[in-house]
Structure 1
């Protein structure tokens, strides 16, 4: 058992990393679920990244070789899509492209659970999930109710640390407070708003943003935590001027586009 007190992330550091990200403008290969493709693409565009949703098995392998980052989200997994995702991960690893795993509903359904266990051994740069998904990925629980977590984020901290150590990756557990760890150090990221849970795709879009930020040079842990903080800040700003989920979506994209982190 490894226990460390979570550290708060400095907004001054987040501001610096966001500036670097906008200058970098990474090309992100998003192999994500059908429900969230448009929203994830718009979130990346609002942050000055370039999204591409390439899913054919041959094209996916080719594209991930020159993209800056790759996202694997198993939300609407099929056997054909599994082949394409595996081809993309293989090509990404060969090219040195960092890739992020979003293990949607892992533990509850057999195909995705077995596939995610297979992917774990192929060196993801980051893993982003809710507490139930992280516990299931670590084979410590059965999984959540659909995309909803049955556990608080801090309940999965030890599992996240163990996964990070075992697979030498960054693990992000999202909830009311997000936790980001590489196995030893833990960063806590506060913020956000409950409206973010009433819109389809904010978690999946966060995974796309984490993938994009993984392409930056520097400290991978700080880059991943900054991605979480930026999304949380945009959620706060959008909720303050929204009347409900519909207006929140437009306000959220605008908040990302206009975001300046106060330091």
Structure 2
């Protein structure tokens, strides 16, 4: 089970992420047995990523300083064969975000792009009404566009939502499950991106392991909801559920 494998191997995940979710991401990685590091200054990111097993680039609170750090870290990771995960948070909200993601995709090879439907639409150029960093609404041939994006950048594309979709450009799969409370607190998608980095780094079959990651992350959401109906407690319950799954495996899903 992938969460248990992560706990056994304890990979170091370098997160250049946003300040809204940094603490939750770090605690989530610790809960699953990985080691987080949140370095984002351009003077140290190349050195830091060199000792990591995966790099996460999350543009949630993007600025020019972190943009430079993302490029340096991503290029260094590519040279060293370290997988890089892109979480293009709110990419469709502003021109600056769109141009930055385009620039990063042109200069860094990403192993995984983990996005929501609105973010996918923005990356592939489909007209969409983005609502800040939320998905928003519009019309898109999601499976076709996600598969095309995976083929174009030779990566795995994950589109999360009520059902998740994963494709490597050749194979694809839908994953159902989860709980609505996962959309009512900030950071659950960002944490998933970090966990995807951990899962990719410990695997010789990334597509299979990431599919399993999506499955069990949704199970963690269901497990968390069974322990609290209060939204303020949900993040803690989710961390507890991830921790239990990483220690006890599928047996933790039996309530």
Structure 1 length normalisation: TM-score?
0.90
**1:150 aligned counterpart, secondary structure:** strand
2:223 counterpart of 1:237: yes
- The CA RMSD over aligned residues, in Å, is 1.7
Residue 18 of structure 1, CA deviation: 2.7
State the distance in 1 between where 2:54 and 2:83 align.
Answer: 5
1:75 equivalent in structure 2: 60
**1:149 aligned counterpart, secondary structure:** strand
State the distance in 2 between where 1:44 and 1:172 align.
Answer: 19
2:43 counterpart of 1:58: yes
2:160 counterpart of 1:169: no
State the distance in 1 between where 2:98 and 2:17 align.
Answer: 16
2:224 counterpart of 1:228: no
Residue 19 of structure 1, CA deviation: 2.7
State the distance in 1 between where 2:189 and 2:197 align.
Answer: 13
Residue 151 of structure 1, CA deviation: 4.3
Runs (5+) with no aligned partner, structure 1: 1-14
1:187 equivalent in structure 2: 173
2:79 counterpart of 1:94: yes
2:32 equivalent in structure 1: 47
Answer whether contact 1:33 1:76 (CA < 8 A) is retained: yes
Residue 146 of structure 1, CA deviation: 1.4
Answer whether contact 2:126 2:140 (CA < 8 A) is retained: no
State the distance in 2 between where 1:153 and 1:32 align.
Answer: 29
- What does 1:1-263 correspond to in 2, within 5 Å? 15=1, 17-121=2-106, 122-142=108-128, 144-151=130-137, 155-259=141-245, 260-262=249-251
**1:184 aligned counterpart, secondary structure:** coil
**2:201 aligned counterpart, secondary structure:** coil
**2:250 aligned counterpart, secondary structure:** coil
Residue 108 of structure 1, CA deviation: 2.2
Runs (5+) with no aligned partner, structure 2: none
Q: Deviations over 1:114-166 (max 9, x none)?
A: 11112223210000000110111111234621122134898422111011000
Answer whether contact 2:127 2:138 (CA < 8 A) is retained: no
Q: Which moved more, 1:142-151 or 1:37-46?
A: 142-151
Answer whether contact 2:53 2:201 (CA < 8 A) is retained: yes
**1:238 aligned counterpart, secondary structure:** helix
Pairs aligned (count): 248
